[in-house]
Structure 1
Amino acid sequence: MQNSARKRVTPIGYLVLLAFPCASSFAVVYARASLIQMMSVFGAVLVIAFFITWLRNSRIRISRDLPRLASVGEDLVYTVHYENLRSGKLANFLLEELPPDPSPSKELFLGSTEPGEEQRNAFDRTFIAYRWMWLVKQRIFFDSKATVCDSVRKGESKHCLMQITPKRRGVIKLSNMRALLPDPFGVFQRIQQVEQSTDHLIVLPKRYRVGDLHLSGSSRNQIGGEALSSISGHAGEFVGLREYRPGDPLRHIHWPSWGKSGKPIVKEYEDVFFPRYGLFLDTVVSAEKANLFEEGVSMAASFACAVDTRECLLDLIFMQQGAKVLTVGRGVAKVENMLETLAGVEIDLKPHWRELEKMILQHTENLTACIAIFCDWSEDRLKMVQKWEAAGLSLLLFYVCDDEKLAREQLKGMAKRFKIAPVDKIQQVLYSL
């Protein structure tokens, strides 16, 4: 459990631990009664507090009333019900929600480079402990504070309000509630696990305000009720009843009318077409550019909310252990499904460029236009964009970066086709569309 040693000693405890040796030193040097008394008081407080804390015990069962969704940077307040399962009254205790273990995987640790790592000394570069500390700090899901709880008798249940502040998006597993049992002096506190079930909370990405979004693209309908390129996802609008014709689907038969007329009657529909847009998110990013990736996810979430999916379809295209496509819009799924997917998307360290390229080219014929968000640049990305353009796909390209000047140098001849989005100007870039 991270920071467990620090939590076992309170801020007051650190002051007493510091004051005791200071008072002892002065008492030895000056041998005054007041200093000896002060040393004795501090020493007695430390000894008594230690043994009381060691003897304290609890057995608590809790349950959480959680909302399903939260947002990055916004305080989340929820109710926790707690029950005292031990004999006797339980008083003077706190509950604290701790985040899941933020330790990175071996693959992520070895495949990452801390920004500025090359400037560290040879010892640090050899044992790379600072890289571990940097990754752990980046992966902490939320900040929380301990909540003081009311006293409970044996078998009694009460509730309290707890607050956490999500620091990063994702699906958070909450199973690490702790009971803090301080001593009467507030010097030390015992930390114990409580009985609890595992709850999950989806933290949505941060979103920006997007200006008036006008996506270009030509319309090419195909005979037969389907669209090939820019118009897709046909639906049927009921226009009336008519006699059955060979080839009509059985599900369109209107049984009450057949029963009245004695002839098979079917419901007639008029094909309705609406635009289909693509939203590509570049997930192939090194760990040291995780901040750019997070901003790219936020931009994708912002566009997902800005596109009116009541009158169109929107395809989210990304790589996550292979090429993936998620479609939302009229008659398919809601935008909330896309936001939940974006909440859980992670950096892909093993890109499948050919699979992605093949999938997007297959979708090119069905898309009116495509918004593409890149967080890095390479030869594979250049070839992919060139093939999209050669296929006639209308593109709105974004490049998330730290330094706008450096980004234009990386993009070279493609810079004029991109909207450069420095991390500190993303809101300005999106609002100016």
Structure 2
Amino acid sequence: MHKLALFRLVFVASRGLRERLTPAGLVIVALTAFAGAFGLDTQANLAHLLFSLGACGVAVDAAGALLLRWRAPRLAVRRHLPEFVTAGEPARYRLEVLNPQARPVQAGDLVEQLRQPWPSPASLAHFRSAAATNRFDQRIGYPAFLDLLRRLRAIDVQRIGVPALHPGQRVSIEVPLRPSARGLAVFERLARVITGPLGLVETRVPVAAVEATLAVLPTRLPVELPAAVSRRLHQPGGVSLARHVGDAEEFRSLRDYRPGDPLRAIHWRSFARTGKPVVREFQEEYFARHALLLDTAAADAFAPAFETAVSLAAWLVAQPRDADSLLDLLFVGERVHRLTAGRGLGGADALLRVLATVATTPPASIDVLLATLERNAAQLSSVILILLAWDEPRRNAVRRLLARAVRPTVLVVAPPDPHATSDDAGFAGIVRHIAVPEPAAATPAT
């Protein structure tokens, strides 16, 4: 924990220097500090002269940058972000830049300042596991910490070049994005970079821009599955918004006639009383319902197996399905969540946004998740379980589903257990072990 606090202090300090000094300025400051260390004895060498020259140059450039910052016209910027992006896939968004001042603005750069979440104690497992796999990281540790920050930030944005603007001129700029990991990126602030006359010191002028968020969806990992059962089952109480007129049996209400409603649905007594056509509305009680269970019980917040499981779930959620079917996504957050898509309840995009921010939970959370699935098994036409282990509690849950005449498809994102018992023969054709892809080489955060 003390090492993590030290790394955070080093990152904040280095980021502060990079925001205030150009690359040339960093070199000059480093040489100035080096000369100052060796120039303490002014009689032994002339390093103190280099220190004085470097310190004066940086001080003069800093004063010039502050003066330019005070006189710099303010810009107004509006972001046009996409609805969502996908991790690992390059994307773009549009910036609309306006010069509302009566003075022209010289060409320069804009910098997006994204909110940087800090690692929680739950993220330390990933930090330690990354360090254990590399001797260099085990001794240093800081590269793994930078990779963790990059994952938490979700998106990286390079500097944005802005051309010179006349008074009242408006330009539109396409900005490339680099989604590095699934999550919710927060575009917190936008600033214009002002460089000193010597090119050593930078200062940043705030730009009027509204804070915005962008969901980074998980990557999608395809998997071959048997065809889902499409049989319709009784749903006690129906489902919200899954209503139609005509052929159901559960009467719900009366409403005004709409073009296309069948004549047999007209309520003739109300028609005779009001003089306007009124139809009977019913709530459907029978339809196909499919369940997708995502196991989040993992100790490592960024475990490769968990990220693979989320990618599998994202691919399955995004698959096209019948218009008359529903998909339930079950997982554990602060409680058991059961989110439904289809039949007027929203599309797959809402579930993908949820998968973008789903996090791991304690190992004991799998028990309450499996219990919720079993309670609703009678309403399900098919079940897909994405599990992070294949232990006895999970085996028993699958056995109970089979006893309820529900044949699930089980995807285990873990290597096969070499000590598996002969009881696993009863799961032939049900359980598939999914290999965890090798992680790509990480790019250090900046």
> TM-score, normalization: structure 2?
0.71
Find the aligned partners of 1:353 and 1:212 in 2 and give their Cα distance.
23
Question: Equivalent residue for 1:56?
Answer: 68
Find the aligned partners of 2:116 and 2:374 in 1 and give their Cα distance.
40
Find the aligned partners of 1:410 and 1:91 in 2 and give their Cα distance.
70
Find the aligned partners of 1:167 and 1:159 in 2 and give their Cα distance.
25
Find the aligned partners of 2:181 and 2:246 in 1 and give their Cα distance.
46
Report the AA paired with residue 53 of structure 1.
Answer: A
Question: Equivalent residue for 1:431?
Answer: none
SS in 2 for 1:178: strand
Q: In 1, are the aligned partners of 2:339 and 2:351 still within 8 Å (CA)?
A: yes
Q: In 1, are the aligned partners of 2:232 and 2:288 still within 8 Å (CA)?
A: no
Find the aligned partners of 1:81 and 1:270 in 2 and give their Cα distance.
47
Find the aligned partners of 1:98 and 1:181 in 2 and give their Cα distance.
15
Q: CA deviation at 1:43?
A: 7.8
Find the aligned partners of 1:63 and 1:201 in 2 and give their Cα distance.
15
Q: In 2, are the aligned partners of 1:76 and 1:163 still within 8 Å (CA)?
A: yes
SS in 1 for 2:82: coil
Alignment partner of 1:308 out of 309, 313, 321: 321
Percent identical among aligned pairs is 22
Instruction: Provide the aligned length of Structure 1 versus Structure 2.
Output: 396
Q: CA deviation at 1:179?
A: 2.0
Q: CA deviation at 1:280?
A: 0.5
Question: Equivalent residue for 2:345?
Answer: 332
Question: Equivalent residue for 1:101?
Answer: 116
Find the aligned partners of 2:419 and 2:313 in 1 and give their Cα distance.
22
Name stretches of at least 5 consecutive residues in structure 2 with no aligned partner: 1-10, 256-264, 440-446
Aligned 1:59-70 pairs, distance under 5 A:
59-70=74-85
Report the AA paired with residue 119 of structure 2.
Answer: P
Report the AA paired with residue 151 of structure 1.
Answer: A
SS in 2 for 1:201: strand
Question: Equivalent residue for 1:385?
Answer: 398
> TM-score, normalization: structure 1?
0.73
Aligned 1:252-291 pairs, distance under 5 A:
252-255=265-268, 258-259=271-272, 273-287=286-300, 289-291=302-304
Deviates more, 1:414-423 or 1:297-306: 414-423
Question: Equivalent residue for 2:193?
Answer: 180
Q: In 2, are the aligned partners of 1:20 and 1:43 still within 8 Å (CA)?
A: yes
Deviates more, 1:411-420 or 1:392-401: 411-420
Question: Equivalent residue for 1:409?
Answer: 418
Question: Equivalent residue for 2:21?
Answer: 9
Report the AA paired with residue 129 of structure 2.
Answer: P
Change (3 A) 1:249 1:183: closer
Find the aligned partners of 1:109 and 1:137 in 2 and give their Cα distance.
13
Name stretches of at least 5 consecutive residues in structure 1 with no aligned partner: 32-36, 427-433
Q: CA deviation at 1:419?
A: 1.4
SS in 1 for 2:303: helix
Report the AA paired with residue 77 of structure 1.
Answer: R
Find the aligned partners of 1:5 and 1:146 in 2 and give their Cα distance.
16
Find the aligned partners of 1:425 and 1:215 in 2 and give their Cα distance.
30
SS in 2 for 1:138: helix
Change (3 A) 1:149 1:256: farther
